[in-house]
Structure 1
């Protein structure tokens, strides 16, 4: 599994609270995100059975299911009435289902994206955040909030190259500006007006009112900037709210939360989940399901709340979590905004036109990892002033055509 903090907490709690009750020993291999993706892809492709269960995201789920690497979970769900599949939020369920409609993974936590901003700074400057902001409005607010003399940028946006870094928020901007990576027939559309306007806007906003060293700034860097008072706004994952509101955070209670900015769409937040997938070749399917069911359960959320704190609960996957009094108190500042963002995310139709795959901030094919990395590198160079956005997208279009050609013929 991926070695993020909430997963490591799970590892600590398993022996005492799962193995002790069930007698099932769980042996964990924890790796950084890039490494865990490679390890899981390799092991599941070979069907070695070394891992019974692995963390996969909604990016991999449908592809792995199509390749026959995952065991469908519907029969386990039917027998395990206490699990409560109907409690899993619908956008999360959709993102973890195969083209055949079967369930292939269960979520550990889910997230969308929204805009975080300094309420105190806005009051001081006489600024007002719209209830449902557009990107045009955010650009104007960033200009007014940008105070380099006081060490504060107007906004922080990921500029670090990577399909899971810069390409993620950028793609949500592309969607709402009317663009897309590919149309439904797999024609590459990176040089169309919608994609071009979105890329120019994103690059221009970062260059003019973004953080220092933007091409070295990813999620963790923008989170640090926001916590340390170096940015007035930040557009990113809803998961960022927890650390901002944690005890000891210098900005606790000072942050406001607004929906992901829009232009041509009704909403534009992304959808992401780390989830449990069962390898098709496992020889211990019942034990594997018992662990997966526990790790994604309401029972486990309660355990985390008692043992570690309700602000650390792996939320964003169950409807009921947002109704729990303990969680509502711990997440009072951002819980409603997070729930709304996830509920409004639609991986089936994230933009103004139909798409060839399921996904919001990514194109759901394996080749997107390389393509997203390439395009974000080209646009990162545009942020640095090494080339124009037009030149970056012209080169990117050629790479996108190669990917599209592989699927046009199918």
Structure 2
């Protein structure tokens, strides 16, 4: 993977939580009488971790864990400034799969490889292989996953049955488009897809469509491919599908909006993050609980097209308590922790998409029967090194792991959103996007 040795800009999607990693040899202070500082985002999984931290503190006398909660944007700014300056205020950070390889190559994160390998009880080989690949650079692993996800196609089985339609386990995009048109009515959209501008909004699903149509953001020489025939075909397909059978005002919709529409029974299908399934199956918030089906991400020319994302725990190289931080991170991402969550808080709250063994726990298999098998199947099937037809000079599926991609993706997404809204053609949008992407590509050469 090619990463320039220069100061890295902050990546989009970084949720920073300070939680400690496992045993970085020779680093940090003694694990006795230590207070670890975790800068954390206020999301449900991190709230669960904070709720259960007393168990860790009881089992590790002398180590206290202090969670510092901030808004996501404030976290990005605070943790990046701390790590880049070497201040060492935080002992653990939660970073996305987009940031880990960049920060690791820059030397901002501890190399966890030795400490993970040496701890047989931790069982690093139990981590889902594609996730480990996404968190590694040149054979060195710089973070461990707290939870992960891929993308799947979710559909209302009752609507399909009423229309006499059968969804295959591995559909093509052409089949999905046909289903969507047949199921589209004045009251119910055939499909919901993200249209809100943003590299993590519109381009999260759209990049996977581009890849399965044979396109890519860059070739191996970092020459932009945004206006290539394959990229153009994929975007035209996406825009036409939204126009023919998509939800109303797609430019205003991202994950939450599509989730709300599908859970209310106003949409027949939705292609998005696998983590949504657990919400759709909650009868207290979803009208379609028990009525949903889940299959692989639709394809065109590739065998798979799901994305891969994880929120991960890492120890900054600047941590003054790296040994104790490592002890905590191992605990928070261990098999033992997952059982603690299930037995204490409920099995559907176990962090998904990180460990293979999670999917063999009888209680979890029963609680998550509707969506756990397909999630594991898809996450193990994706290839973050080459998700499309052609080799790429970075590791990642729905993003490009260069600092500039946040800005490139956001700008091109706005151009495509204009095409979705009918304010420009796809061809004009991508011609402008090509210039934006090439300027960033030139910096990688």
TM, length-normalised to structure 2: 0.89
Q: Secondary structure at the match of 2:69?
A: coil
2:27 maps to which residue?
A: none
2:43 maps to which residue?
A: 4
1:102 lines up with 2:144 in the alignment? no
Q: Secondary structure at the match of 2:66?
A: coil
1:239 lines up with 2:275 in the alignment? yes
Report matched runs for 1:73-152 at 5 Å.
73-98=112-137, 100-148=138-186, 151-152=187-188
- For residues 103-124 of structure 1, the C-alpha deviation after alignment (integer angstroms, 9 at most, x for no partner) is 1101100110010000000001
Q: Is the alpha carbon distance of 1:111 and 1:7 closer, same or farther for their aligned partners in structure 2, counting shifts above 3 Å?
A: same
Structure with the higher fraction of residues in helix conformation: 1
- For residues 36-77 of structure 1, the C-alpha deviation after alignment (integer angstroms, 9 at most, x for no partner) is 333332222222111111001111111001111001112321
- For residues 148-190 of structure 1, the C-alpha deviation after alignment (integer angstroms, 9 at most, x for no partner) is 2xx2100010111111111110000000000000001000000
1:37 maps to which residue?
A: 76
* In structure 1, distance between residues paired with 2:385 and 2:216: 13
* In structure 1, distance between residues paired with 2:267 and 2:314: 38
2:37 maps to which residue?
A: none
1:389 maps to which residue?
A: 426
* In structure 1, distance between residues paired with 2:204 and 2:70: 22
- For residues 298-335 of structure 1, the C-alpha deviation after alignment (integer angstroms, 9 at most, x for no partner) is 11111111122111110111110011101100111111
* In structure 2, distance between residues paired with 1:182 and 1:39: 31
Q: Which is worse superposed, 171-180 or 160-169?
A: 160-169
* In structure 1, distance between residues paired with 2:215 and 2:81: 33
Q: Secondary structure at the match of 1:56?
A: strand
**1:37–1:56 Cα contact (<8 Å) kept:** no
Report matched runs for 1:5-404 at 5 Å.
5-14=44-53, 16-23=54-61, 24-98=63-137, 100-148=138-186, 151-248=187-284, 249-404=286-441
Q: Which is worse superposed, 25-34 or 118-127?
A: 25-34
TM, length-normalised to structure 1: 0.96
**1:246–1:311 Cα contact (<8 Å) kept:** no
> Offset of 1:210 from its aligned partner?
1.1
Consecutive unaligned residues in structure 2, runs of 5 or more: 1-16, 18-40
* In structure 2, distance between residues paired with 1:390 and 1:227: 35
- For residues 213-235 of structure 1, the C-alpha deviation after alignment (integer angstroms, 9 at most, x for no partner) is 21111111111111111110000
Q: Which is worse superposed, 69-78 or 393-402?
A: 69-78
Q: Secondary structure at the match of 2:444?
A: helix
- For residues 355-375 of structure 1, the C-alpha deviation after alignment (integer angstroms, 9 at most, x for no partner) is 111100001111111111111
* In structure 1, distance between residues paired with 2:340 and 2:120: 20
- For residues 19-50 of structure 1, the C-alpha deviation after alignment (integer angstroms, 9 at most, x for no partner) is 22213211222334444333332222222111
* In structure 1, distance between residues paired with 2:191 and 2:59: 48
2:13 maps to which residue?
A: none
**1:154–1:209 Cα contact (<8 Å) kept:** yes
Consecutive unaligned residues in structure 1, runs of 5 or more: none
> Offset of 1:291 from its aligned partner?
1.0
* In structure 2, distance between residues paired with 1:205 and 1:283: 53
**1:91–1:347 Cα contact (<8 Å) kept:** yes
Q: Secondary structure at the match of 1:25?
A: strand
RMSD across aligned positions (CA): 1.2
* In structure 2, distance between residues paired with 1:126 and 1:229: 18
> Offset of 1:272 from its aligned partner?
0.4
State the aligned residue count. Answer: 404
* In structure 2, distance between residues paired with 1:272 and 1:176: 18
* In structure 2, distance between residues paired with 1:140 and 1:41: 46
